[in-house]
Structure 1
Amino acid sequence: MALQPRGPGQLWAERGWYLSAREQPEDEEEADEDGESAPLLPPGSVHDSQSHGSSFAFSVFNLMNAIIGSGILGLSYAMANTGIVGFSILLLIVASLASYSVFLLLSMCTQTAVTSYEDLGLFAFGSPGKVLVATTIIIQNIGAMSSYLLIVKSELPGAVAGFLSEDESGSWYLDGRLLLLITSICVVFPLALLPKIGFLGYTSSLSFFFTVYFALVVSNSTGDCKAKLFHLSKESAYAIPTMAFSFLCHTSVLPIYCELQSPSKSRMQNVTVAGIGLSFLIYFMSALFGYLTFYDKVDSELLQGYSKYLPHDTVIMTVKVAILFAVLLTVPLIHFPARKAVLMVFFSHLPVSWICHILVTLTLNTIVVLFAMYVPDIKNVFGVVGSTTSTCLLFVYPGLFYLKLSREDLLSRQKLGACALVGFGICVGLLSLVLIIFNWTDQ
C-alpha cells in the first residue's frame, strides 16, 4: 500500500477529538486550560490507560539514552578552551535552553496532537516546513553517526593492539579505516536493517551503561596541574556547538511522550528536567576530570589523550572497549530516524518495500562510512553539525513553531521566550560557524 502524504487539514480532521476536547467549558481546572494535563493521544488508545506505557523512571532513562552520546568525548576539549567556570556557565545555559525548548515542543504537542517533529513542521509551515525539518534531521543524524564511527576508526586499532603481546604495527588489523569498514559491514549495517527499533532498545541500554562507566573511570584519572577558570581562544568557537550537539534529544522527546504512562505535558516536562539534569551531571563530571587529566594537552576526542599518555593502562583499555561497544550498539539506532526522514522526503509516494528499505539503509551507511573515513578530526563534526542542524533542532525550530502555532498574545511570556530562543540559536549558530570556517582558513 502506498504511503500518501497528508496535508495539515487532513491531520486536523483525523484528530478532531482533540479539537473537541479544547472546546470544554471555561470553568475547567486551570491545569486543563493551559494543557498541562491534556492527553496527547485520543481516548481509548492503549497509552491512555494507567496500566500501559513506560514508567516515569524508565522514560527518564530513555531520554538520557537519547541525550548522552559521542559528545561526551568532546566536552573536555570544550572545557580546555573556555575554562572550568566558563564551561560550567555555558553548559548550564545550553542545558536550560534545551529543557525550555522541549517545554515549547510539548506545548505544541498538546495543541496539535501530533507525535513527530516533522508533523510539527507541517502544521507550522505546511509541506516546506515538514521537508525542512526532515532534511535537518537527516543531516544531523548523518553527522552523529559519523562522529560515532570516527571513534571506531581512531580507537579500535589501539584496542586491538592492547590485546597483542608484540608490536605488530603495519598489520592490516591495525588499520583504522579497514577496521571501520569491516565493523560497519558486519555489525552496523545488519542491525540497521532490522524492520523494528524495539530490539535496538536493549542494545542501546547497554550502550548507555558503557558510557556511564566511561564517565566514572575518567573521574578517577586526575593529575597535578594548573587549571584555568576562564579561557578564550580561537578553538573556543567549538564549545557551544559541541554542547548543542551533546544535548540534542528533541527528535526522541515526542515518541517518549507517547509511551509515557498517563502522558501529560507537566509529567513529561518532569521527565525532561530529570533526564537533562542527570545528563548534565554526567557530562560535567567526565569533562572536568578529563580536563584535569590533560589540561591544555587534552585532545578533541578525549580517548586519544589516554592512547598517547597511558597506552598500556588496563583500566583505560576497558574504557576503550566499553566506548567502542557503546558506539557500535548506538549507530544502528540513529539510522532509524534518519531512514524515516529520507523515506518521508523522497519516497513518500512509493509503496513500502524491502528493496527501498535496504537501498536507503545501504546509501545512508555508505555516506556515513565515507565521512568517518575522510574527516580528519571529530571536532569538525561537532563544530559544523552543532552550529547548524543541532542549533536549528534545539533552539530555532521549537521557537519558530511555537510563535507560529500558539494562540497566545505576541507579548506573552512564552512567546517572548520563544523569540529569545530563536534569536539565541541563530546568533550563536552563525557566529560559531563563521569562527570555525575562519579557523580552518587560518590553519
Structure 2
Amino acid sequence: MPAQGDASAAAAAAAPAAPAQPQDAPPRPLRASSSAASLFDEGTEEPTGTVLTSSINLANTILGSGMLSMSNAMASLGLVFGSLVIVLSACTSGLGLYLLSRCARRTSGRDASFFAVSKLTYPRAAVFFDAAIAVKCFGVSISYLIIFGDLMPEISDALGIEAALLQSRTFWISFAIVALAPLAFQRRLDALKYTSFTALLAVVYLFVVVAVFYFNPLREPLPKGDIVLFRWSREFFTHLPVFVFAFTCHQNIFSVYNELRDNSSKQVNGTIAVSIGSACGVYQWIAILGYLTFGSKVAPNLLVMYNNSLVITLCRLSIAVLVLFSYPLQCHPARNCLDKVISAVWSSWKREPVFEAIAGDHDDDVPPSDAATSAPVVHVMSLAKHVSITSALMVLSYVVAISVTSLDLVLSFVGSTGSTCISFILPGVFYYRMHRNSPWTRMKIIAVALATYGVLVLVFCLGANISRVADGDY
C-alpha cells in the first residue's frame, strides 16, 4: 500500500536511530521516567495476551446486566423464535469481529484501531468514527455506574444494614470511582484479565441460580404465564436490540489483536469463537430457563421475580461486581479512540500531511498474511495523555452518573445507532472498501450483506424507539 509505506518510511527516517542490542537480549519493558519529555513521548510494550485471557476479557465485555433482560426479550418472541434470534445475533456479531480482524492485518505492526483502519479506507471520516465509538463506550460506562449505584442500596437494605450512608447511591458511585481507578488507568486490556475472570464468576452464579429455581421441585409456587414457541408482533423491533447488542464487544477486538503474543489468524479466530460461543450458551441457558419458569409474566429484570432471599441478594451483589469490573473494559476503548481523535485534531491544526485511502488496482487484491505480526510490539500513548484522558473520562462519567437516575431512553438510542455501527456496518464497509477492486468473493458478498443488515436494524429499531417515545410508552 503506497500511502502506508510512504508514511512508514517517513516516520522511520524522522525517528532517531535506536542503540543496537544483543540479538538474544530480552525485550525492554516500558519504563517510567522522571524526565518531562518522557511524559509526552509514545512508548512500547511487549504483548502478553493469550487466547484464554483475551477470550475472558471479550466475554466479560459481552456479558453484562443485559443477561437479566434476556428472558423478557425471549417472552416477546417465543421459545423457538427467541432461541433462533440469539444464535443469529451471535453469528452476525462473530462475523463482524472476524471482518475487523481481517482489516487489522492491513494495518502496520501492532497499532490496529478503528482509526488506523479508517485511514486506509475512509480517511476523512476517521475522526468521526472514533468520536462516535468513544461516545458510545462512554455512555455504556455511565450506565454501569448507575446500575451499581442503584443495586448497592437495595443489597444493603436486604442484608439489614440500616446505615444512612450505605443507603445512598451517591456514596456507592463515589466508592466505585475510587475503587476502579487502579483498573481504569491500566494501559493494556490484558492487564484486566483477573478482574474479568472474577466478574465471570458472577455469571456462573447467576447460571446456577436460574437452574436451581427451575429444576428444584421443592421451590415455592411461582407465577407462571403461557409458554409459546413462536410469537410475532410489533414489539419485535423494540426487543431485537436486546439480542443484537448483547454481543457487542467489537470496540475491544483491536486491542486483543495488538496484545496477543501470537496474533495469527488461527489464534484471533479462536479467541472470537470462544468468547462468542460461550456468551451464546450463557444467554440461551438464562433466557430459556427464565422464560420456562415464569412464562410471559417474566419481568425485564429477571431477579425481581424471585423471592428476596439471601441467595438472590448474593446474586444481586455478584451482578453489581460484574458491572463494576465491566467499567474499565469500556474506559479502555474510549480512551484509545479519544487519543486518536486528539492526535488527528492536533495534526490538522499543525497542518501535517493527511493520510490517503488505499488506491490502485492491485494493492487491495493482496491478501493479508495469516501469520503472527512480525513486529511483536504494542504501541502505547504518552503518560501525560494517558493520565489526562483517563482522568477526564472518570470525572465526567462520575458527574453524569450521580446527576442522572435513568439512562434507559438515552442508551436505547445510543445502542440502536452506536452498537449497530460498530458490530455490523463498519466491519462490512471497511472490508468491502479494502477489497473494492478485487473480484466478488463469498466473503466480500457476506461483508456487504452484514453492512446492509446493520442499516436495516438501525432504521427499524431506531424507528421503533422513536415510535414508543411518540406514544408515551417510556
Shorter-chain TM-score category? Answer: 0.7 to 0.9
The alpha carbon displacement at 1:418 in A equals: 1.2
The aligned residue for residue 246 of structure 2 is 246
Structure with larger Rg: 2
Q: Does 1:123 align with 2:116?
A: no
Q: Which residue of 1 aligns with 2:101?
A: 106
1:83/1:382 Cα in 2 relative to 1: closer, same or farther (>3 Å)? farther
Q: Secondary structure at the match of 2:455?
A: helix
In 1, Cα distance between equivalents of 2:106 and 2:199: 35
Cross-structure match for 1:346? 342
Structure 2 runs not aligned, ≥5 long = 13-24, 28-46, 215-221, 348-380
2:136 corresponds to 1:153: no
Cα RMSD over matched residues? 3.2
1:215 matched residue in structure 2: 207
Q: Secondary structure at the match of 1:81?
A: helix
The residue type equivalent to 1:298 in the other structure is V
1:148-180 C-alpha deviation (Å, 9 max, x unpaired) = 223213321111111117xx59x453243x244
Contact 2:80 2:230 in 1 (8 A): yes
Matched residue of 2:106: which SS? helix
Q: Partners in 1 of 2:183 and 2:99 — Cα distance?
A: 34
Whether the 8 Å CA contact 2:54–2:271 is kept in 1: the answer is: yes
Describe the SS at the equivalent of 1:386.
helix
1:310 is paired with a residue of what secondary structure? coil
Structure 1: gaps of 5 or more residues: 1-6, 17-43, 47-51
Counterpart residue number, 1:80: 75
Question: Is the contact between residue 221 and residue 290 of structure 1 (CA under 8 Å) also seen in structure 2?
Answer: no
- Normalising by the residue count of structure 1, what TM-score does the alignment of the two structures yield? 0.79
- The one-letter code of the counterpart of 1:415 is K
Residue 137 and residue 393 in structure 1: after superposition, are their counterparts in 2 closer, same or farther (change >3 A)? Answer: same
Residues 70, 246 of structure 1: 8 Å contact kept:
no
Decide whether aligned partners of structure 1 residues 254 and 339 sit closer, same or farther in structure 2, where only a CA change above 3 A counts. closer
Farther off after superposition, 387-396 or 288-297:
288-297
Q: 1:275 to 1:118 in 2, by over 3 A?
A: same
Structure 1 equivalent of residue 58 of structure 2 = 63
Q: How does 1:260-279 map to 2 (within 5 A)?
A: 260-279=260-279
Cα distance in structure 2, aligned partners of 1:159 and 1:342: 36
Identical counterparts, % of pairs: 28
What does the per-residue CA deviation read over 1:310-368, in whole Å, with 9 as the maximum and x for residues that have no partner?
Answer: 12x111111111111122222133212212222321356399454x5555334423443
The letter of the residue matching 1:397 is: L
For 1:148, the aligned partner's letter is: Y
Contact 1:388–1:429 (Cα < 8 Å) also in 2: yes
In the alignment, is the contact (CA less than 8 A) between 1:244 and 1:386 conserved in 2? Answer: no
> 1:335: which partner in 2?
331
Q: 1:377 to 1:74 in 2, by over 3 A?
A: farther
Map 1:309-324 to 2 at 5 A.
Answer: 309-311=306-308, 313-324=309-320
Partner of 2:34: none
Determine helix, strand or coil for the equivalent of 2:212.
coil
Change (3 A) 1:293 1:139: farther
Q: 1:184 to 1:86 in 2, by over 3 A?
A: same
User: Quick one: distance in 2 between partners of 1:85 and 1:353?
Assistant: 51
SS at match of 2:105: helix
Q: 1:96 aligns with which of 74, 91, 96?
A: 91
Give the C-alpha shift of residue 233 in structure 1: 4.4
**Which residue number in structure 2 is paired with residue 397 of structure 1?**
426
Distance in 1 (alpha carbons) for counterparts of 2:293 and 2:404: 26
Is the aligned partner of 1:388 residue 2:417? Answer: yes
Counterpart for residue 427 of structure 1: 456
Deviation at 1:194, TM superposition (A): 4.7
Partner Cα distance (1:92, 1:316) in 2: 28
Question: Partners of 2:11 and 2:442 in 1: how far apart?
Answer: 28
Q: Aligned-pair distance for 1:377?
A: 5.2
Larger mean CA deviation between 190-199 and 250-259 belongs to 190-199
Q: Distance in 2 between matches of 1:194 and 1:100?
A: 29
Say which SS state the counterpart of residue 300 (structure 1) adopts: coil
